[in-house]
Each structure stands twice: as structure tokens, then as C-alpha cells.
Structure 1
Amino acid sequence: MTQESTQAYLAEKEFVDEKHDVECTSVELEEEENSPIPEVAAMVSTKDDPSLPTLTFRFWIMAIGFSVLLSFVNQFFWFRTVPMSLSALVIQLISYPTGKAMARLLPSGVLNPGPFNIKEHVLVGLTANCAAGAAYAVDIIVIQKVFYKQDFGLLANFLLILTTQMLGYGMAGVLRRYLVYPSAMVWPANLVQVALFNTLHKDEDLLPGQWSRYKVFMVATLCMFLYHWLPAFIFPALTYFAWVCWIKTDNIFLAQIGGDRGLGIGALSLDWNNIVSYLASPLVVPWWAQVNIGVGFAFIAFIMTPLAYYFNLWDAKKFPIVNSSLYTVNGTTYDVDAIMTDFQLDEGKYEAYGPLRITTFFALTYGIGFAGLTSMVTHTWLYHRHKLVAQWKQSRDHSEDIHHRLMQAYPEVPDWWYLSLFFAMTIVAVILCEVWDYKLPWWGVLMCIGLSCFFVLPVGLIQALTNQQPGLNIITEYVIGYILPGRPIANVTFKTLGYISMTQALTFTSDLKLGHYMKIPPRAMFWSQCTGTLIAGFVNLMTADWLLRTQPDICTEKSKDFSCPPVATFYSASVIWGVISPNRMFGPTSMYNAINYFFLLGFILPLPFYYIKKRYPGTWVENIHVPVMLASTGMMPPARPYQYVNWLVIGFFFQFFLRRYRASTHLRYTYLLSAAFDAGVAFTGLLCFAIFESRGIEFPEWWGNRPRSAMCPLNEHSVIPPVVWPPAAPGAN
């Protein structure tokens, strides 16, 4: 960042001072005592009032009610053909007037201890954050019922969700010393929420003609609410313009490179929900991280994949160029039921039916995932080992920055709270897998938890700095697939316990950082987060159970509205790693064996960049981040290449152009706009479903809402005609 940009950032911090009651006892620091991070210095207040009440009656009413609402809506829309997620930011917006109304209407006293304050509001938001995501373990329940025709019942399903969602919380007690207290651990996405809370709770010193943050937020939300009716209902073609296909609609090559189901080169999307449906908002990811993501994505999607496909690597031309489906050797759909007996692989049936094939793109994304994992270990060791050791030694008595010193006014959560939660959930997970037939032994449970503990810190370092989180889903399913081949449910259970435990640990840690910024008592945060997670787990399960019982053909291609795209990828992974096993898919005798070399590639790749940075400090090489670059395609599939391109275009405007040439405007409004766009899309989606979709009402047919097959006829089957093997004998019918 240039000196001028830095000064502009620091000059803006006057706009984030909290409204403060001078009669209350507060902790206040001098103006020059601020965070060394410009964005944090400008967005986060250096004032606090420890006397403000937090776990009030009105907090509990709103936290429970909004957690139920949010978890239901997001689980419901997770099943939709076009997934949508209602952001916790929307709950933060709704809870503000609700809290104000309760403060005005409830009788004064214990139930209503004064005005609705910012700390109550933040706690409602933290509880909603924990209830915002659809539980990953629901994927296991869905594929069990839909594809494997298996059901362990509500109790087992609830315990599965409970353990996978809460086990990682116990790790946060250790992580907070490295990922919460240090000022360098920014967690950029939290600044969006800080901007919203500050907008709602503080008076602003405005220049003549300058709009307040609240006004900007409301106007932007309304504009997005009105606009989103076009791509959501009236003009769905705005979701993507695959104009390359239109050059010659019967050309397979153009469909492959330009279709939204292909490489999507040139495809334009004017739908905010479509662009961010699988990726974080481009308005909150730092530009240097977006450049790394863009370089990695372009190399993989636009160089490696076309070269591999058109040179027919691994019989690529028999299959679509970008797809996560499963195929036989001649390009037809793979029938998994034909090779299984009693929910496990039947060796005889498999030998008779034949091996599994996947698209070359799908295989390459697995390889990049391997490389990303090992590069993360090397990168963390090279760049962070000294700081981690120092932080460990200083964690008991060292204050990292002003905000950490302000938090000393509150009692910290005892370590034994976190340890108790960790061991309790571990025990429940072991009992669950031993009592019910998940086919995962007790030592498998402990092994996947160990993997999660090993990787959680390096992954957390990346997320805290870049807002990107490399996943453990590939390595977990790889490991258990070798150890326990032929067991799909054991495989996905191991993956979920390992991968989601780490993810939940970092979700909890991110929320702790938000509370750190907003000066929320740590013990109040702990109880609010656990409450939101418990509520969400129960509501997620009941919502999924209801839909699975009432919607015909749910999570299959036959369903128009509830085809659940993420389930297709999850199910394919369960077959690849669980049923077939990595030894058959990627072992010495497999055609995909070369994928294993990506482990070594990822381990080595950070080394040359590290030494180049040491040799030439202060150059552009400083911005190269190999794990982020390799994790760029972590959401593909189900994310499509054209979504990445449009995401990067928006990121360029806000995080590069606006930040460099209009620094004060960027600082003041960018994070706020991200929240407003999410809110507008969510309101439109809910109303559209309630008024029209739930009643089967569709907009009159016209050019702008024709099906995808009409826009790009070969898009659905963009594949070179498959070669049938063995060939028919001469003269055969």
C-alpha cells in the first residue's frame, strides 16, 4: 500500500468512534494508540464500555428466534437447484429495529435493562453466525437416504450433526492465542460485520453532501432487492450470457469453451447471488489474495484443463470437459448400485462391471487439492514458525495490540471449558460410530480428529490473512479410503469429522475475533456460539428430514427445484474414495496414478519463492502465496469457471481500482455494500419463493427465461461423441 493510501485509511478512523455515554465507566485509549493494520484502525473503535449488559432477556429471545429462522432458511435453500444462503448480516440488520422495539415496549427492569446496545446486537449476530451454515453432516444423511437407501434414525443423525459441528469448538481455546490476540490476524470478512454494527449504532460526523453509512446501506439493499427480481424470476438469462455458444449453437467446441457448463470463457453473469454462491464476496478478499487466486485458477482452468482434454489425457474426450459425474470406460453413466452388496463394494460385481472413470478436469482438481495441502505445511513452516514459537512463549502475559489490552477488562474463558467440550464430543463421536453401523471403528474417529488438529493452525493462518480456507476434505477421504476401502459411509463420516471439525474450529475462532474487535465478554461469546450451534443442528436435521419425505425425486436430476447440486459432488466423492477406494482410482495400476505426484509438487513449490523473496525483498514476489494459489479451484466443482472470472472482475474494481484511486470511498463503503448486496438478494429470494415458487407460479415464457438448452443447445452434453469399446464386430447389428 502506498503512503498516501495509508494516510487516507488512517484519516478515516474518525468515522468509527462508538457512540459513548460519558456517564458510564469506560476504557478509552489515546488517538495515536491504534491497530497497526490500517483497515482495522479505520473500522474498529478504540473505546469500550464494560458496564453494558450482554446476555439479557431480549438477547435470548432474538438469538433463539433468529437462529431458528436462519438455520431453516439456509438448510431449505441448500437443497434448491440454485442454492442461496441468507447471510447472518441480514439477521444483524433485522435484529436492530427488533431490539429497539423490545427496549421501548418491555417494562423496565431485569427484562429490559436500558437501551438496546451494540454488545447485545453483536451477540445476536454471533449466535446467528453459528446458525448460518447448513450442517455439512446433512450431506451424509442425504446420500444415505437418496443413494444408498439407508437410514439410522433421527437420534443417530442428530448426534452426527452435533459432534461434527461442535467438536472443533474445543480447538478454539488453543487457536485464540495465535489467531485472535495478534493484531496481524485481521480476518477480513469480520470487517464487513464491524462496518454494519457501527453503521447502525453510531452517530457520524458527515461532510456537507456526504451520505451516512446507514443511508448507503439502506439504498444499496433496496436497489439490490429490486434488481434481483430480474435474474431470480423475470430475466434468468442475466445469470449468465454464454455468448460464445451463440456464434454457432451446434458447435461442440464452442459449447465446451464458452458454455456455462464448460470452461465459460467470455461468459458474463449479472447475478450477484450466482457470482458469490460458492465463493466469498469479492468485496472483502484482499486484492493480493485475489491475484493469487486468479493466477492459480487461470492456469488450472484455462491452460491445464484444455491441454489435457484436447490431447485426450486419460481418455478425456469420452467425457464432458467440466463435470463431477461418474462414468464407465465408454462414457456412459456409472451405476454404483451394480457393484455393491450390503452398502459395501462387492469385488466380484466390480470386476464384472468395470472400473470407474471421471473427467480429466475432476481428476486435476483432486491433484491440485493434494498440492495445496502439502504446500500449506511447507509455507507455514517457512514463513510462520518463528512467530508461532514466540507467540506460544508470550501467550500468557503479552498483549498484542490495543484491542487485546481492552479485552483484559473481561474474564477469559477457562481452558478447561474448551477441553471439556473437545473430549465430550470426541467420546460421543466414538460411541456413535461404534453403536450404529457407520463402519468406522473407534481408532478411525481418533485418527480423523488428529488430522484436524494438525492442520487447523496453518489453515487458520491463511484464512485470517486472506479470507480463503483450504479444506481437508480431499486428504481425509484419501487417507481413510486407503485404510478402509469399499466403505462409502465410513469414508464420508471420517471426512466430515476431520474436515468440518477444522472448519468449525475456525468459524468459532473467527467469531471470537469479531467479539475481540467489538469488545464482547469472552464468556458471553462462548455461550451464545454454543447456543446457536445447538439450535441450528436440530433445525437443519428437521428441515432436511421434512424435505426428504415430501419432495419427489429430491437431489436427483429429475427434480426441477430441488436437485441439490452440492450433493452430486459429495456423492461422487463417496464413490471415488469410499466405494472404489483411492488405491483403485489413483494407485500404481490406475490410469490416474500420476495425480499422486502433486503431493510432492505442492511440498516443493513454496521453497523457490521463499528464497527468491529473501534474495529480492520488497518486490512483487512478496505477494506470491502458493497455498492460496493452489487452493483457487477448491470450490470447483460444483462452482463453474465463469463464476470465478466474474468474481475476479468485481474484485478488481473494488479491491484494486477503488482502493488505490478512491481509498477513502473504498474504506467507508466497500464492506457495507457487500452486506447490503447479500441482504437485498436474500429478501428477494425469500419473497420470490413465498409468493411464486411455492405456488408453482412461473413468469410468462419469453426469450430471457428460456431453458439453458435453448440458449446453448450442446451445453448440457458438451462432449466429443464417446468411443464405444470394445467395437462392434463387422456386420453386427
Structure 2
Amino acid sequence: MASEQKQEYDIEKEFVDDKHDVERSSVALEEEENSPIPEVAAIVSNKDNPSLPVLTFRYWVMAVIFALILSFFNQFFFFRTNPMTLSPMVIQLLSYPVGKFMARVLPHGPLNPGPFSVKEHVLVSVTANCASGTAYAVDITVIQRAFYGEDFGFLANFLLILCTQMLGFGMAGVLRRYLVYPAAMIWPANLVQVALFNTLHKEEELAPRQWSRFKFFLAATFVMFLYSWIPGFLFPVLSSIAWICWIKPDNLVLSQLTGAGGLGIGTISLDWNTIVAFLGSPLIVPWWAQVNIALGFFVIAWVMVPIAYYTNLWDAKKFPILTPALFTRDGHTYDTQRVLTNNILDEKKYDAYGPLRISTFFALTYGIGFAGLASMITHTWLYHRHKLVAQWKQSREHSEDIHHRLMQAYPEVPDWWYAALFVLMTVIAVITCEIWDYKLPWWGVLLAVAMSAFFALPVGLIQAVTNQQIGLNIITEYAIGYILPGRAIANVTFKTLGYISMAQALLFTVDLKLGHYMKIPPRAMFWAQLLGTFIAGLVNLLTANWLLGSIDNICAEDHKTFSCPHARTFYSASVIWGAIAPDRMFGPTSIYNAINYFFLIGFVLPIPFYYLKKKFPNTMLDYVHIPVLLGATSMMPPARAYNYTNWLALGFIFQFFARRYHPEWHLRYTYVLSAAFDSGTAFMLLLSFFIFTIRDAYMVEWWGTRYDLCPLESAPYITPPPLPEKAPVA
């Protein structure tokens, strides 16, 4: 019986690395007293102490402070030319000694009910996790102010952020019955966090002269803080050493292929912030996933793109080889305002000005995105259909393992709490879009919410088993682009309501499962998640407004520090899918019409690999994961090619070399080192901003601060003709 359960619930080969880590750090438990899932039984405790304190004074102080810090840091860094994200793992590590310190110094009593408990620690981390991501709707505010010349004011912006971030919370109340309670819903990503909590709250067995994880974290943070001043301020050239391009910087093709602003072949970065800017830390991504990302990147960026560019596919040579910018047919910057009236497309103006053009790389990334979305459907059906059906049946039966039985000791959150929140946020969304001129009618809001609610459960079922989430961003902007063409702001508002509501629902569900594993009272989880989400939305908007109002020329492509790469890509998408609309961009009369065939390519591509794996088992083919491979370049643009190559190099050092040849060190310190590097770099960047950038003070110019060492890296192959001179005003 045990072998049958093992076969039925075993996680795919891609999770085998994490599974081995878990098994090495766990103790064997009798299966009849534990979860039927071997991976869960290996790491999650099958005991609980309901008397442990939860919503204590210590929790509220740390949760609010850490949520404020994390949401401010991440929104601040989101605007930077090389953005970075401070991981919630940093808070998970920092809150442990802070909690222990508060337990020691506060007077014993209601404010300090004994030792700092693991449940308080989990709740602080959950609140920080809800506050860690930058609210997607902030980008709507940014592009309105920076590109469309309109501002609906703080109230409208905050209400839109609030409803888009919390709508999913209401959905999570329904999803918990199918995605949290059943033992079959594993959510593998949570097992790493559970392992870290267990590690921190038990005594570390240290060898002689061996450092504790926390001591190692502090030392590595301090070292990275000091080092980051070199590439971040004193010697910026170290961030992108395009040494091949420097050999002959006046050679256009060499610059396009090897320059940091081009395909970055051979470009080296010695700056942690640059390496993790778009892909996150390479120290925590499993090696199997990095191999697929590497294959996808090399094939797409270094094979397909050069061939397409130099064969002049879609007039590629008129534009830079890698850019999210928008162009006219001649290669000049596309002035979107010339085709809009009240920020809605004016067809007469559009016909007079001419069609929109994008770089061939940018067009191909949309095609690859189409293929990735379709391949996820096929891959899930081929590899997971039996598992999903079995687990769906179990979820309907609410199969109770030991963890679900232990959770019966706590009162559940009433359904009406979630329902009321869902209805309230939907009403706020309708009112916000109707009162202010988002150009999205009430039925558009309801359609977006309905799409999000419809897809949440099937996508969640897939993610709970495969750790892969199917994004709805392309589907939502594609659909509303056909329904309401010409409306840029309506398009991104619909996309945010439809895509982010589902993503937030699954984010809340992941945390609910973490609380389920760690035996956190559900009502405490409800308020912890609500608190983090509210703080994040408020702080994100305040930070964005402060930066937009205090930094001149912010979000300009040539801004050294704050060029807003994510917002500029978001703006380009609003024009492509909203203002111009998919029918004009990718319809039968468009030169980019062939992009639609990528849906078919992605749908078919996993099939031959599935049968090849069955025919040739236990080969390298076992590690090929088509959806991950196709999603490799999903961050390009705004990410540059050298962000990928240096990310992959570090990933090889830690996730392959260190893991294989120094497994004990890797298991003990790698995740901690990643969090320390993030923290040290973040503190340096924030300090340098307040000391220098905000006062318009910069490093003395010398060779190491030059940004023009490879001046042709972002130049088109064919120089556009000069613009006609404007007639003098009479």
C-alpha cells in the first residue's frame, strides 16, 4: 500500500533536488500517523501545540514594521534601471533574532507571553510575503502620469490598487476547500519554507568553528554591503563589462551582438543587483530549471533572433536588435499622442500617421509567450492528467490527513467573511472605473472578475502539483483588445483585474497551505494576510507618487538610475494591445500576423518530447520541460541578454557545482547567502540614494563611470531618415 501511495503522489523529476534536501534534513515518521504524501511526511511535523501564542504584541510590531520596509524597498527598486526584489526570505531570517530579542527584553506578561514561537514567526513571514510584491496596478498610475499625461488622483489610484490586490483574497475562501484542505494538494514550494522554519526553531548542531546560519547571514550581508559600493557607485562599468565590444566599438554588428544593450555575448557583470534584477536570485532556482532556461535563452536569443534580424524579418534592421520601444515604419520613435484623442485611438489620425512597428525581438517574445501558454496546457495534460484527476477526486472528498485533523482544533474563518470581501472589492472596482475615466464599463469589470474566478481553480490545481502557474495576462489583454479596441487604459485595467486577481488568489492560497502545514489558526492567517496586503498597496502607491513627483525625467529611457524598465514595457503593451489593438497589430492585414501560429507551435511541441522521453528513459531528455524552456525569455525585454548569462553562470556555481561537490555547505548556507546578498545590496542602494542621488550628486566622472564605451549597441542596422522639418507657425 505504501508503494502505491508513493507512486500516485510522487512529485515529478523536476522536484527531486528539493525532495533530497528535505529528506536529508528530516526524520523518518510512521506513515499511518502522517501525511500520505511522502514529501510532506518527510518535512512537515505531525504534531501541534494549540497553546502557542499567535497574534501577540510582538507579532503586530514586527509585522507592521517589516511589511512597511519590504513594500517600500521593493517599490523603490522597481523603478530603478536595474530593478531588484528584496526576498521575503530576508524577513523570515531577520524576524527570528528580533523576535527572540523582544521575548528576552520585554517584561513578561500580556505583551510578552513567553518564548518567541514558531507560529508568531510564520505569521510575520506571511504578512511580509503579502507585502513583498509590488502592486501590479501601480504601473497603471505610472504610465498614466509618465506617458499619457493624466492623473486621476490618490483616491482613485488607491481604490484600484486595493480592489485588484484583494479580490483574489475573496476567491481564496472558496479555493481553500479544494486546494488547501486535501492532502493531495501539495504546493511543493511551501516545503522549502517549512524546512527553514523547522531549522531556525531547533538547536543547530554546529561542528567546531562552524558558523550558525544567522551569524553567516550577518557577515555575508556586511561584506556585500561594502562590496556593492564598487559596481553600484565607484566603478559602474563593472556592472556590464562588454569587453568584446570594446575591442572595436565602432563596429555596428559587433556592438549589436556583444554590447550590453544588444545580445550581450561575452558581457560580464560583477554586480549582484544587475544579475538578479529581472530573474531573481540564481542561488535558489533548481538546476533542472536553470538548464531549461539556458536552453530556451540560447535558442531564442542567440539563434532565432540574429537569424531573424539579419535576414530583415519584419523590417528588423530599421530598429535596434533588442528594445521594447515603439516605432514608425521608418524607425523613428512612435509618438502615441499623435494618434489619440482623449487617450482613445483616433482612426483618422492613425491612418494619417501610419502603423505601429516594434522590434522583431519584441514581436517574437509575444509569439514565444503565446507558445508557452499553449504548451502549458499540453504539458499538463500529458504529464499530469492522471495525477490531477486523482487529486481532484480526493479534493472533492476532502480527504483528511493528520494535518487537516489537527487544524480542527481552531475555529475556521466563516465563509461570509470571504464572500463579503469579494463582493466589496468587486463593487469598489465597478465604482472606481465608473466614476473615474478608466474607459472600462461596468460589464467589462465583471467580465474580468468572471475570467479570473473561472480560471482560478484549474490553474490552482495545476500549480498545487506542478509548481507552474499559467498566467492570464496575454489572454486578458488579447480578449479585451478585440472587445474594446483603441482604449489603452481600459486594456491594462481589464488585464490587471483579470490576471492579478487570479494570481493574488493563488498567492493567498499558497500562504493558507503554509499555515495549514504549520498549524496556524485560520482567523489569525486571515488578518495577517489582510494586513500585509493593505500595507503593501498603500506604501507602494505613496512610494510611486513620491518618486514620480521628486525625480526629474523619471521613466525616460536614457535615465541613468530610474528608467522604469517594467513600466516602459507595460506602457508599450498598453499601446500594442489597447490603443492599436490586436486586430491591427496581429490581424490578417498586419506584417506580424504569423505570430498567431505560435499558439499552434506551443500546443504541439511538448508531444514529440513526451514520446521521446518514453522511448529513451533515463537520459537528458528527462530534464526537458517545454513550458519552462519557452518561458525562458519572458522577461526580455525589459531584461537584457547579459542579465541571463551571468545569472546562469552563478546558478551553475551554486546549484550544480556546490550542490554536487559540497552538499552539506550548500544545504546549510546557500539560501541564507542569497538572502544576505539581497539585503546587503538593498541597504547600499537605498543609502546611496538618500546620500547622493536625491541631491543630484554623482561619482566624479572617469573611465569607470562611462556609459558610452559601446555606443552602437542600441543602434539600428539601418539609420532612419531625418524627420521632416515642421512648418513655421504663421
Q: Would you call these one fold, judging by a TM-score over 0.5?
A: yes
After superposition, where does 1:185-204 map in structure 2 within 5 Å?
190=190, 193-194=193-194, 196-198=196-198, 200-204=200-204
Query: Are residues 57 and 13 of structure 1, via their aligned partners in 2, closer, same or farther at CA, if it must alter by over 3 Å?
Result: same
Contact 1:456 1:502 in 2 (8 A): yes
Among the aligned pairs, what percent are the same residue? Answer: 69
Q: Does 1:80 align with 2:77?
A: no
Equivalent residue in structure 2 for 1:718, among 706, 710, 715: 715
**Any conservation in 1 of the 2:178–2:398 contact (CA below 8 Å)?**
no
Residue 357 of structure 1 is matched in structure 2 by 357
Moved more, 292-301 or 665-674: 665-674
Secondary structure in 1 matching 2:358: coil
Report the Cα distance in structure 2 between the residues aligned to 1:322 and 1:52, rounded to whole angstroms: 55
| Cα separation, 2, equivalents of 1:7 and 1:344 | 52
Which amino acid in structure 2 is aligned with residue 13 of structure 1? Answer: S
Which residue of structure 2 aligns with residue 644 of structure 1? 644
Q: Distance in 2 between the 1:659 and 1:178 partners? A: 36
Amino acid at match of 1:436: W
Q: Is the 8 A contact 1:376 1:459 kept in 2?
A: no
Q: What residue is the counterpart of 1:138 in the other structure?
A: 138
Match in the other structure for 2:572: 572
Q: Distance in 1 between matches of 2:57 and 2:109?
A: 10
* Aligned 1:654-673 pairs, distance under 5 A: 654-673=654-673
Q: Which amino acid aligns with 2:266?
A: G
Q: What's 2:3 paired with?
A: none
1:148 matches 2:145: no
Alpha-carbon offset, residue 194 of structure 1: 4.4
Q: Secondary structure at the match of 1:633?
A: coil
Mapped contact 1:89–1:679 kept (Cα < 8 A): no
> 1:274–1:186: structure 2 CA closer, same or farther, 3 Å change rule?
farther
2:4 corresponds in structure 1 to none
Q: Name the CA distance, whole Å, in 2 between partners of 1:8 and 1:130.
A: 29
Amino acid at match of 1:162: L
CA contact (8 A) 2:152 2:436 kept: yes
Give SS of 2:116's match. Answer: coil
Aligned to 1:319: 319
For the pair 1:626 / 2:658, whether they are aligned, the reply is no
Deviation at 1:454, TM superposition (A): 4.3
Cα distance, 1:458–1:636 mapped onto 2, change above 3 Å = farther
Asked if 1 retains the 8 angstrom alpha-carbon contact of 2:74 and 2:133, the reply is yes
Paired with 1:457 and 1:163, the residues of 2 have a C-alpha distance of 20
Deviation at residue 193 of structure 1 after TM alignment: 4.3
Q: 1:295 to 1:560 in 2, by over 3 A?
A: closer
Q: Do 2:185 and 2:391's aligned partners in 1 also have CA atoms closer than 8 Å?
A: no
Over the aligned positions, Cα root-mean-square deviation in angstroms equals 3.1
The change in CA–CA distance for 1:642 and 1:6 in structure 2 (over 3 A counts) is closer
* 1:126 is aligned to 2:138: no
Deviations 1:317-345 (A, max 9, x none): 00000000000001011111111111111
In the alignment, which residue of structure 2 is the partner of 1:60?
Answer: 60
**2:544 matched to 1:532?**
no
In the alignment, the residues of structure 2 paired with residue 608 and residue 287 of structure 1 have an alpha-carbon distance, to the nearest angstrom, of 23
Deviation (angstroms), 1:635:
1.1
* 8 Å Cα contact 2:283-2:651 kept in structure 1: yes
- 2:550 maps to a residue whose letter is T
1:704 paired residue number: 704
Residue 461 of structure 1 deviates from its aligned partner by 6.0
**Counterpart secondary structure, 1:206:** coil
Whole-Å Cα distance in 2 between the matches of residues 148 and 213 of structure 1?
A: 49
Q: CA deviation at 1:63?
A: 1.4
Classify 1:149/1:727 alpha carbon distance in 2 versus 1 (closer, same or farther; 3 Å).
closer
Once residues 360 and 501 of structure 1 are traced to their aligned partners in structure 2, the CA distance between those partners, rounded to angstroms, is 31
Which structure 1 segments of 5+ residues have no match? Answer: 18-27, 729-733
Deviations 1:360-388 (A, max 9, x none): 00000000111111222222233333333
| 1:719 partner letter | P
Question: Could you list the runs of 5+ residues in structure 2 that have no partner in the other structure?
Answer: 1-12, 726-730
Partner of 1:430: 430
SS in 1 for 2:317: helix
Q: Are the aligned partners of 1:195 and 1:671 in contact in 2 as well (CA < 8 Å)? A: no
- Asked if structure 2 preserves the Cα contact closer than 8 Å seen for 1:5 and 1:660, the reply is no
Pairing 1:99-248 to 2, within 5 Å after superposition: 99-176=99-176, 179-180=179-180, 190=190, 193-194=193-194, 196-198=196-198, 200-248=200-248
Q: Is the 8 A contact 2:263 2:301 kept in 1?
A: yes
Question: How is 1:185-584 mapped onto 2 (pairs within 5 angstroms)?
Answer: 190=190, 193-194=193-194, 196-198=196-198, 200-395=200-395, 406-457=406-457, 459-460=459-460, 469-557=469-557, 559-584=559-584
Given residue 87 of structure 1, which amino acid in structure 2 is its aligned partner? S
Displacement of 1:50 after TM fit? 2.4
Q: Distance in 2 between matches of 1:216 and 1:45?
A: 27
The separation in 1 between residues aligned to 2:261 and 2:447, in whole angstroms, is: 38
* Distance of 1:402 and 1:250 partners within structure 2: 68
1:229 deviation in Å? Answer: 2.0
How has the CA–CA distance of structure 1 residues 183 and 693 changed in structure 2, closer, same or farther, with 3 Å as cutoff? farther
For residues 468 and 270 of structure 1, what CA distance do their matches in structure 2 show?
31
State the alpha-carbon separation in 2 of the partners of residues 196 and 160 from structure 1.
35
Q: SS of 1:638's equivalent?
A: coil
1:713 maps to amino acid: P
| Letter matched to residue 532 of structure 1 | G
Give distance in 2, aligned partners of 1:478 and 1:157.
24
* AA matched with 2:672: L
2:52–2:119 contact (8 Å) kept in structure 1: yes
Distance 1:402 1:232, change over 3 A: farther
The verdict on how the C-alpha distance between 1:73 and 1:610 changes in structure 2, with shifts beyond 3 A counting, is: same
Q: Structure 1 pair 401/620, CA: closer, same or farther in 2 (3 Å)?
A: farther
Q: 1:258 to 1:533 in 2, by over 3 A?
A: same
Greater Cα shift, 552-561 or 193-202 = 193-202
Equivalent position amino acid for 1:223 in 2: V
Q: Secondary structure at the match of 1:395?
A: helix
* Separation in 1, partners of 2:339, 2:180: 49
Offset at residue 64 of structure 1 (A):
1.9
> Quick one: distance in 2 between partners of 1:446 and 1:495?
12
> Which residue does the alignment assign to 2:9?
none
Once the two structures are TM-superposed, the CA of residue 305 in structure 1 deviates from its matched residue by 0.7
Count matched residues: 712
Q: Secondary structure at the match of 2:25?
A: helix
CA pair 674-155 structure 1, distance change in 2 beyond 3 A? same
Amino acid at match of 2:163: T
Distance (Å, rounded) in 1 between the aligned partners of 2:219 and 2:31? 32
Distance 1:8 1:611, change over 3 A: closer
Offset at 1:427?
A: 2.7
1:12 equivalent to 2:24? Answer yes
Q: Which moved more, 1:473-482 or 1:331-340?
A: 473-482
Whole-Å separation in 2 of the counterparts to 1:721 and 1:338: 24
Moved more, 231-240 or 391-400: 391-400
Superposition deviation, residue 510 in structure 1? 2.7
Deviation at 1:297, TM superposition (A): 1.8
Compared CA separation, residues 397 and 106, structure 1 to 2 (3 A): farther
| Contact preservation (8 Å) 2:82, 2:273 | no
Residue matched to 2:653: 653
* Separation in 1, partners of 2:345, 2:111: 59
Aligned-partner Cα distance in 2 for 1:538–1:418: 21
State the shift of 1:250 in Å. 0.5
For residues 461 and 724 of structure 1, what CA distance do their matches in structure 2 show? 54
Q: CA deviation at 1:200?
A: 4.1
CA offsets per residue over residues 415-460 of structure 1, 9 Å max, x none?
4443433333223222322232211122222322333334445655
